[in-house]
Amino acid sequence: MDELEQTRLRRCDEFSTITGSDSAVAQCYLAENDWDMERALNSFFEADMESVFDVEDGEEGRPVSKRKGTDRPERTGDAPEKKRMHSAQVDCIDLTEEEPACSSSTSSKENESDGDSKLSIISWNVDGLDTLSLAERARGLCSYLALYTPDVVFLQELIPSYAQYVKKRAVSYLFIEGNEEGYFTGLMLKKSRVKLQKSEIISYPTTQMMRNLLCAQVTFLGKEVYLMTSHLESCKDQATERMKQLGMVFQKIKEAPDNMTVIFGGDTNLRDSEVAKVGGLPAGVTDVWEDLGKQEHCRYTWDTKTNSNKSVSYVSRCRFDRIYLRPSKTESRMASEHMTLVGMEKLDCGRYTSDHWGIYCTFTT
């Protein structure tokens, strides 16, 4: 087998992993797009993605498109049967006023007052590529946001219809998207407490999975904060690319001005050995979960033992989702205070909000 054929077979495998399609579909889309991975993925999503909820007029939902792939290998077999959904009439609703539909043991009282000096964050891979029960799961996300009223939200694996749905309900938040097509990350900033100065999207030059780094310079109650979110390259065999992307994240953290607090949150897909291979965390940077004592109840954010959204035959428990903190070097230091996992209650549809648990954490300022 020559080198060109090997390269094309590898790209077919990567395409199939991302989209959940078979090798024939992968080869078709790649060949039609001159074997350019990004163009082929964009073509696939544009052709196959149909919104599962209409946020403009609440009309009857279109048929759900065939299930897309996720970061992790799925069991073989036919895709789940398509079904129809109905969406209720939608108005613009302030999330902080919305009655939560999901129960939780943690109260949001501490975040209700705009005078609260603690910074609260949720980071969550919402698995928008899985279109099964997507409308119900998106409502689940909104319920958790209403319950916790975080100041900042890091979202990964959004699709356009999911992002539009959340924006229509989250009128108390400024929504910044990491892209406009395919799947992408997002940042949500609570308007009453977090003020955007500027934002940027930093490309990963060698990504094969449309990944990038979304950054925003903000002020929180007068303090300078640099926010970063990303969805690093997925799958075990993409460790080299993932570590390159992590290196770019660390470099950006180190380059942030000394007067800024830097917070990164996202689906890193990291294994601890990979962090060690890039030299560990930069000086002054802490992993929030480790800093708070490595509490076992919030170790695993990807947990097929507990989370049944993915019908897989294996058990995988990983700490893919992580939050890093670099306090300001010149101003009063922000410190990690609390961390817990969210999304661990099943919705009425019988599924969880995502195949990942979300991370909720607070910082003292």
Q: DSSP letter for 152, please.
A: E
The dihedral region occupied by 256, where left means phi > 0, alpha psi between -120 and 50, and beta the remainder, is: beta
Indicate the helix (H) or strand (E) that contains 42. helix 37-48
- 3-state class of 148 per DSSP? helix
Cα distance between residue 69 and residue 49, in whole Å:
12
Identify which of 160, 203, 330, 204 has the alpha carbon closest to the alpha carbon of residue 260: 330
Here the tokens at position 358 are: 């979300």
Distance CA 93, CA 74 (A): 36
Q: Which of 54, 127, 151, 267 is catalytic?
A: 267
- What's the Cα-to-Cα distance from 216 to each of 68, 225, 334, rounded to whole Å? 30, 8, 18
223-231 and 261-267 strand pairing: parallel
Determine which helix (DSSP H) or strand (DSSP E) holds 137, and give its type and residue range.
helix 134-148
Q: Which of 130, 156, 104 is nearest to 351 (CA)?
A: 130
* Rounded Cα–Cα distance for residues 113 and 239 (Å): 43
Which residues face 186 on adjacent strands? 155, 177
Q: Which candidate, 315, 310, 313, 348, places its Cα nearest to that of 125? A: 310
Q: How far apart are CA 347 and CA 351, in angstroms?
A: 6
Residue with tokens 């999911």: 162
Rounded Cα distance, 210 and 38, in Å:
6
The amino acid sitting at 25 is: V
94 is catalytic: no
Three-class secondary structure assignment of 61-76 = CCCCCCCCCCCCCCCC
Report d(CA 271, CA 185) in Å as an integer: 21
Would you name the residues annotated as active-site residues? 267
